[in-house]
Structure 1
């Protein structure tokens, strides 16, 4: 990996082309690129392949760890979706189908790097050691996110579409000026590429050669709008317009994502500037639990993408090569059951905060104006004491 990272990433992606095939029948279906257009190291059938520019060596233990990550992250997501349906969460943004993109990118980070997520990067949070309950509490509405961004190297979730790219770029410019040998990793979706904040961030990153990597999970839909209505070219090709390399990787291939993201982060740390990674993946579920994807995409499209499941291909490879046996898979499933029970129990036992908690962390020090608002709120609440309404 050091040999790869020691040269400009533009050399690794030059000449890369993307063929476009006919879209899946039906209104709004995205065009699907042939597999030759992607950086891929593990096929959907679980066969290991090589790429001339992105070699990676992983041990048997590391492969098993990656598989375990994928399974546990999916189980967390499935449990959270169930909790929302049962009224325990206000909303949930599922990552179903995007586990490899998030685990691969998260495991590429070094401890001193910092990730800047949207509101869906639960898999990255997992790789940074964030307790799932600290993420769940945000969607339950009891706090604004319970983890320490400094200690975990994982910033708080950002709901404002694209704003995290500005945060990451500014942070990366600070790292640059401090002489730090670390980088920022900004996550975004395909829909966010249409936001001004994202384009502004990439202009600044390019102008100052900031050590930041833009990691776009192209899950084919900006809520209900398909990619073909957002961009006339593959998203990774947009990077050339800003003056830095872009690369498209199979987002359902955890090994390819790991290799490409490691290389991009290494290049950023070494002063080569930003990279745009397009992780070509698919959102298997709804945009959030308030969305109904059956209104804008066909079931046949979903069935086609199920054949590219990121977990199934790793399991197939582990089984085929004898890297893992039945006992290992059973142990992973048992750990997934334990995690689900931990999440369910911890969620239902979360105490509701007092109403005044909303005033506690607005500023480092409370302002007179905020204090007046709190006093007014407390007086209003006191008016209900003894009331049965």
Structure 2
């Protein structure tokens, strides 16, 4: 199995910036990966995703295996060609989506049997099948081991059983992955919010020899403070030479605080999901363009973001598009949000290089404190 070269160029405290070099190009870290659930980053052309600054996107194993089918994607040239994306691509294992099906799945020691949310058909996902779909059929540059995600909250016993199963599935995933020159595989740490279990899982995953380490079991309702605490209890058990990935995170404040704790990679549907519902993420905090106060506001969304959707259209125009139900509204706002998240990551990388990340972190915390982007402005889930 290839272990992609990972070079750390600068650090400030636990925060670090560098590059993960893949055969399809460099990934500048910390990196935010736009989510291409069904082979598309919703409402965007791939050249818009690239122009926004994204080095890598994420594909979804569960959705693509159901529709159009992983074997069909392979026959059509693989996911890169099919989706018209020539950069690096990471795919998730399908485990999180299967976990979310709740009553439609049956877990056992060797895998999970589940019913499709589309047509009710029965499917089987094992560590080996997940690897086959990701690496062989979709052609992912970075695949993820199959794991079991736990509910939050859960008992210590439930979390321990889950991490033990995930460690076993991690080894089975590695065995199925085998030796590959141009692809790599990341392992996933579980253990809910229990420090002893996070340590146990982290040490087990590291010992198995993956090309990168992901922190799973987050973004499942634990809230910002618990997310930070879980990262704090996990990172000390991770090696410095491998990229660290927090899955499914998150809001801008989550990204900043995770970077401060030594995380290198992120993904989340938030930029495009917010874009479809009229919420713009900006340097000043979130903006709901559907609010009446913007009906005659000629100011741009955010001139601090280098994107036409951010600077060329007024808030009044966005307000009109969403009130009129025009498709262009979600398209432009998804583009802006994607560009803002990439702009945030670029500024974080630069601030670490220049030794001013802590100053940026403090400035953003103050700036966002009175907005809904602050975790203190809303109850913990």
| TM-score class, shorter | 0.3 to 0.5
Larger RCO, structure (CA 8 Å, separation 6 or more) = 1
Higher percent of residues as strand: 2
> Whose Rg is larger?
1
- Give the TM-score normalised by the residue count of structure 1: 0.33
- Give the TM-score normalised by the residue count of structure 2: 0.33
